[in-house]
Amino acid sequence: MTHDFKIDPWGTSAIEDEDYSKLIQKFGIEEITEPLRQKMLNNRFIRRKIIFGHRDLNLVFKAIEKEQPWAVMSGIKPSGPFHLGTLTTALEIVEFQKMGGKAFYAIADIESWEDNGIPWDEAEAAAVDNIADILALGLDPSPEKAYIWRQSKEPIVKDVCFKVSRLVTQNMLNAIYGERTFGLYISSLIQVGDIILPQVLDGLQPTVVPVGIDQDPHIRLTRDLTRRNYKKFFLPGATYHYLLAGIDGSEKMAKRNPNSYFTFNEPYESIERKIKGALTGGRRNLKEQRELGGEPQKCMIYKILMYHFEEDDEKLANDFEMCVKGELMCGDHKQECIEKVLKFIENHRKKKEKLIDKAKDLLKID
């Protein structure tokens, strides 16, 4: 990573583990303190320290304490099926909704067009598929608990884009994003509308946006433009999670490297093959593994279980200790991971199949 620590929300740069603390300092992100973590132990991403930083999460906690309204907002580009990366944010939204926040979820079809060249009508099938996925993960779509929209069909986000753009200069956008196509700049202003939509629709309230740190440029832009254009609004807050690297050991999950991730729609045999090929924290051979112990902090098998597929915290801690002691072999751990992932996806597909019509209804697609 370069020394100026520019981060790219459109995914062309990787973030090294050692740079997180520097990014926190550079961009003024607050770390999750132990007292705050203790107040939110029912959120597994905070409990397991996957979420490491935040902006104004304390305002959400105050709203919870006072039984006042608050919101969680995020979205997805309808450019393909759910995969491990999109699963993280989706489950975070479900976790925050269960804590009492109203969930606002955007189908970012304008951004998908600008970034991926996917026309809005062609994005509809992926949008339905994506919404059915998050419903199957446990999102409650009832109107009092959720609001779901497509950017291309939601006039509020477009109106906000026009309003805030009056105070935006080319130099300002270049400083945040670097030199990009103007369409991506427009999509970033549309996202400002997405993020403040909860307060436009439902009144002033704290809003938390769960993101990976690569999305922080959007958060900083939105907070600045909210401060200048909507002076009575709460500044939108955020939580930041560590990004999962490619399961094969590559720097990140990327479509150009299909072995770096798996989607929820691909054949079971393909998912199993990719997990078998995943990077582990094992030594060169069994003898060294038993003598020196493994390195679970480097192991993608341990990480994907921790993020998504192991419900039992005590089991995770025990696996970590056994690996370090050389008592857990990589082959056994991979097989256990394969069984849990395939069982999860099998159950997920059964739930999702029953929710396709509901997803179409929510998106107003025939």
181 and 271 in a single domain? The answer is no
d(CA 272, CA 52): 30
Residues 158 and 42 reside in one and the same domain: yes
Same domain, 66 and 198: yes
Assess if residue 10 is contained within a domain: no
Go through the chain and tell me how many residues it has: 366
Domain end (from 243, 273, 296): 243
Q: Count up the domains in the chain and report the number.
A: 2
List, for residues 323-350, the tens digit of each pLDDT value: 999 999 899 999 999 999 999 999 999 9
- Residue 254 pLDDT grade (very low, low, confident, very high; cuts 50, 70, 90): confident
pLDDT tens digit sequence for 77-120: 999 999 988 999 999 999 999 999 999 999 999 999 999 999 99
Residue 231: give its domain's CATH number: 3.40.50.620
Per-residue pLDDT for 64 more than 80? yes
In a domain, residue 362? The reply is no
pLDDT tens digits, 131-145: 999 999 999 999 999
Q: How far apart (Å, rounded) are the C-alpha atoms in residues 95 and 98?
A: 5
Torsion 355-136-131-57 (CA) sign: positive
pLDDT band at residue 1 using 50, 70 and 90 as cut-offs: very low
Closest to 264 (Cα-Cα) out of 140, 102, 91: 91
Residues 234 and 114 in one domain: yes
Among 185, 212, 243, the domain boundary falls at: 243
Residue 141 covered by a domain: yes
Is residue 16's pLDDT more than 80? Answer: no
Within a domain: residue 320? yes
Q: Are residues 38 and 107 in the same domain?
A: yes
Same domain, 225 and 81: yes
CB 112 within 8 A of CB 118: yes
14 pLDDT tier (thresholds 50, 70, 90): low
The answer on 192 and 142 residing in a single domain is yes
At residue 36, what is the residue type? L
Range of the structural domain that residue 169 is part of: 17-243
Find the CATH number of the domain harbouring 327.
1.10.240.10
The pLDDT tens digits of the residues spanning 295-319 come to 999 999 999 999 999 999 999 999 9
Considering the domain boundaries, does residue 4 fall inside one?
no
Q: What average pLDDT score do residues 27-45 get?
A: 89
Structural domain contains residue 180 = yes
> What's the confidence (pLDDT) of residue 249?
87
Distance CA 59, CA 22 (A): 25
Residue 13 confidence (pLDDT):
56
Cβ burial, residue 165 (10 Å; 0-12/13-18/19+): middle
Give the pLDDT of residue 2.
Answer: 39
Residue 91 lies in a domain: yes
Domain match, 289 and 150 both: no
DSSP E strands in the chain: the ranges are 30-31, 51-55, 71-76, 102-107, 146-150, 207-212, 237-241
Kindly state the helix (H) or strand (E) to which residue 223 belongs, with its residue range.
Answer: helix 216-229
User: 109 with 224, same domain?
Assistant: yes
The pLDDT of residue 118: 95
**Given 215, 243, 271, which residue is the final one in a domain?**
243
**Pair 213, 88 in one domain:** yes
Q: Are strands 146-150 and 51-55 parallel, antiparallel or unpaired?
A: unpaired
> Does one domain contain both 139 and 272?
no
Do 112 and 234 form a contact (C-beta atoms < 8 A)?
no
Q: Are residues 176 and 45 in the same domain?
A: yes
Is residue 27 pLDDT above 90, yes or no?
Answer: no
pTM of the model: 0.93
Looking at the domain assignment, is residue 5 inside a domain?
A: no
pLDDT one-digit tens code per residue, 147-197: 999 999 999 999 999 999 999 999 999 999 999 999 999 999 999 999 999
